[in-house]
Amino acid sequence: MGYAAYRVANIGLSPFSSPETIVNTRQAMTVYSIQLGLNLIWTPLFFGLYRPIEASVDIITLLGVNGYLTYLYSSIDSTAAWCQVPYLGWLTFATYLCTTIGHLNNWDLASGEINKKE
């Protein structure tokens, strides 16, 4: 993620870039900042506050934002866009885990109790 953002910023904000590329780069960097914020709040939502519904909404939004970010990167630098593909794969798997854990626990992780069959 960081290397891709570096490539986009380095290419897109160059004094030799076209005005359209500069506008696309600024938009991509804004979306990159948004996805960093979404990424930052997922861990406390899921592990700290035990809020799987909110964490699932957050990670699904994060997945969509990163898909859009990859699209924006592709208009500036194809290498940067391809650098996002493994992260998109990881987010897809993490989204599956988050939603499955929430579903299997009836969307309530706060109790911390395990129901045992007797």
Average pLDDT of the chain is 93
- Is the pLDDT confidence value at 110 over 80? no
pLDDT tops 90 at residue 117: no
Give the global pTM. 0.87
**pLDDT at residue 114 tops 70:** no
pLDDT (average), residues 82-91: 98
| Torsion, CA 48, CA 53, CA 59, CA 61, rounded to 10 | -130
pLDDT of 118 strictly over 80: no
